[in-house]
A and B are shown apart, each in its own frame.
Chain A
Amino acid sequence: MSSVADGNTMMNEERREFIKKTAIGVLVGLGAASGLVPAFSLEKTVLPVWDEKPVPGKIRWGMLIDTRKCREGCQQCAAACHHVHNVPDFRNKKDEVKWMWKNPYQNVFPTASQQFVSKEIQDRSYLALCNHCADSPCTKACPTEATFKRWDGIVAMDYHRCIGCRFCMAACPYGSRSFNWQDPRTAIHDPVTTYPTREQGVVEKCNFCSDRLVKGQQPACTEACPEQALTFGDLNDPRSDIRQLLEANETMQRKPELGTKPSVFYII
């Protein structure tokens, strides 16, 4: 009797094992298929982004800000930027985290000519953000490569590698970097789920919307501007809109004398 029962148990175990292995095989097959055949993938990826291997230096993303079009008192670009990136708002200057903001002429361009500037130019405020410098002092100062230069010219941040030493903040001559002096999650008033929040103790800054570029979208600020004052494009492509505008207009960069080669340009 007992030997028959043992035989049954063995049969059952073998059958269970067979079903298990088949199921795993089917899952593996589906997984491979979704990886190889885009139509099978569960999460849609924008393919043009991936269809060629990134060549370092091939693309250099840049931005041109036509400050003549920028509406006084309008903050839609910064609001859109801060919203889609879960930038906290502590409502105090000491803990402030900001990726994009407006400041008067003498603050944004302190080394530009300040004498006899027209009242109109002095009264306007100017957009400041990370310049995504071609020769970025912040990436040079970072001891862990937590901030680094991407193949497309974007100065990116790895929030999981940053040790919070704030060398990049001391090295940045544009004040473009913010540190999370306290837990930012308490000060995100309308969080989005499409971009991660940061932790206390790491540095953050404008990412030129690399999270949106990968989906084939324009940066949030460029899209949000009601006056189309912001032009985003490839500085290495002579036929891009941004290059055409740079050709046709007199433009300036912030503190060009420091040799950082900013990728953000201004029409005053």
Chain B
Amino acid sequence: MIEKALKGNRSYWIWIAFLVSVIGVGLSAYDQQRWFGLTVTGMGRDISWGLYIAQFTFLVGVAASAVMVVLPYYLHHQKEFAKTVIIGEFMAVSATLMSMLFILADMGRPDRLLNIMLYPSPHSMVFWDLLVLSGYLAMNLVSSWAMLGAERKGVPPKPWVKPLIYLSIPWAFSVHTVTAFLYAGMPGRHLWLTAVLAPRFLASAFAAGTALLILVSLILKRTTGFDTGKEARAKLTVLAAYAGVANIFFLGTEFFTAFYSNVPAHKESLQYLFFGLDGHCQFVPLMWYSLISGVASIIVLLVPALRKSTPWLVGACSALVLSIWIDKGVGLILGGFVPSPLQEIVEYTPTVTEICVTLGIWGIGILLLTLLLKVVVAVKMENEQ
């Protein structure tokens, strides 16, 4: 089936060549990092995680959001999602792969990666995260590939496929919950030490991931003529909007608890991110942009007249994805380190090398997604004829 990804028009190959060159730049930047160490990044003793872990967190969310189409389609037989569901699943595959690559890029000794499996430590959340992520990657890839293969041959899927898909539904929730637990169990990092972190992760994931899925389906329609259907997109729009509302609501509850209780440790990171702390306000404009554009895009998605117009829909979905990328990726991870355990405020700016590695990993993920979706479109179009 994969041979279908090897047949394409000129613009398809230009796109592939572009992605390959981005990956090349990323690899050469990563080579620098392997040679000189993580000193080539903007991270340091006080802000010891940066862009990589931020991308990891955001992308696990994108991966988990596949459940927003898988659950209604397989459990509630919402036929509108018939063509969208596999796109969601393949997006989950490439997002999971990217999030794992970001962990790898962040490691000081990636050559020792297997130590996590050689010395399994159930008390460590990383151990569980690696388990759920690799399991999620495998089950999505295997089940969606098998479904597509069956569809191509016009036969019913093998009997083990459906149970695997059903398993992937709670698994999707567990993937993002465990990711939240990576942060939410650490004493002394008060921005993360909150029970609402896992629910908030799920809400922001379902908003950003679903918005991204709408965008991908629109891109597919424009570039290949393969349309997943207006009804599917309309339903997804509403899902993204309400997930976005839930996310803003959770953020609001964080603000209330921190500022009404007035406990300094609970307040300081939020204060640093949104209002500045002791004259340091590196992220203030970015966080307000994220908040305002997030609210605005949710409003657009909620107003029927606006969300039915494609330009408004594209604008709102892109703004929502970017808003959550800033809020969850940049704000949450970097904000968690400020102030430091010794009450110092340290600023962080990613370096060019770090940005190149990041783009390279996105390149790998998008390349994989492109190849997978190329197969999907070829199979679906063939069957429609």
Contacts and interface: CB of A to CB of B under 8 A. Distances in A.
Interface of A: 93-97, 103, 106-108, 110-111, 128, 137, 140-146, 161-167, 169-175, 178-183, 199-203, 255, 258-260
11 contacts: A93-B44, A111-B265, A140-B124, A161-B112, A164-B108, A165-B103, A167-B124, A174-B342, A180-B37, A181-B39, A255-B188
A92 B301 CA distance: 48
Contacts of A144: 112, 115-116, 118-119, 121
B109 interface: yes
B126 A141 contact: yes
Interface of B: 36-39, 43-46, 48-49, 103, 106-110, 112-113, 115-116, 118-119, 121, 123-127, 130, 182-183, 185-189, 265, 336-337, 340-344, 346
B206 to A, nearest CB: 26
Given A111-B265, A140-B124, A170-B48, A181 B38 contact: yes
B273 to A, nearest CB: 17
B39 A95 contact: yes
A236 B106 CA distance: 40
B108 A166 contact: yes
A175 B341 contact: yes
A142 B48 contact: no
A163 B108 contact: yes
Contacts of B341: 172-175
Nearest to A174: B341
A143 B45 contact: no
A247 to B, nearest CB: 28
Nearest to B336: A170
Nearest 10 pairs of A and B residues by beta carbon: A164-B108, A173-B188, A201-B108, A94-B44, A143-B126, A175-B341, A181-B39, A182-B37, A182-B39, A143-B124
A163 B125 contact: no
B344 A107 contact: yes
B107 A165 contact: yes
A142 B115 contact: no
B126 A167 contact: yes
Contact of B37 (A106, A141, A183): A183
Contact of B109 (A93, A175, A202): A202
Contact of A201 (B37, B43, B45): B37
Nearest to A98: B45
Given A169-B48, A258-B187, 9 more contacts: A137-B188, A143-B124, A143-B126, A143-B130, A144-B118, A145-B119, A163-B116, A164-B109, A200-B37
A167 B108 CA distance: 12
Nearest to A258: B187
Which has the most chain A C-beta neighbours within 10 Å: B48, B106, B130? B48
Contacts of A137: 186-188
Nearest to A169: B48
B107 A163 contact: yes
B235 to A, nearest CB: 39
B187 A259 contact: yes
Contacts of B108: 162-166, 179-180, 200-203
B39 A163 contact: no
Contacts of A200: 37, 108
A110 B187 contact: no
A116 B189 CA distance: 27
A143 B121 contact: yes
Nearest to B268: A110
A201 B109 contact: yes
Contacts of B45: 93-97, 175, 178-179, 181
A170 B44 contact: no
B127 A143 contact: yes
A98 B45 CA distance: 10
A144 B108 CA distance: 14
Contacts of A94: 39, 44-45
Contacts of B48: 166, 169-170, 179
A146 B186 CA distance: 18
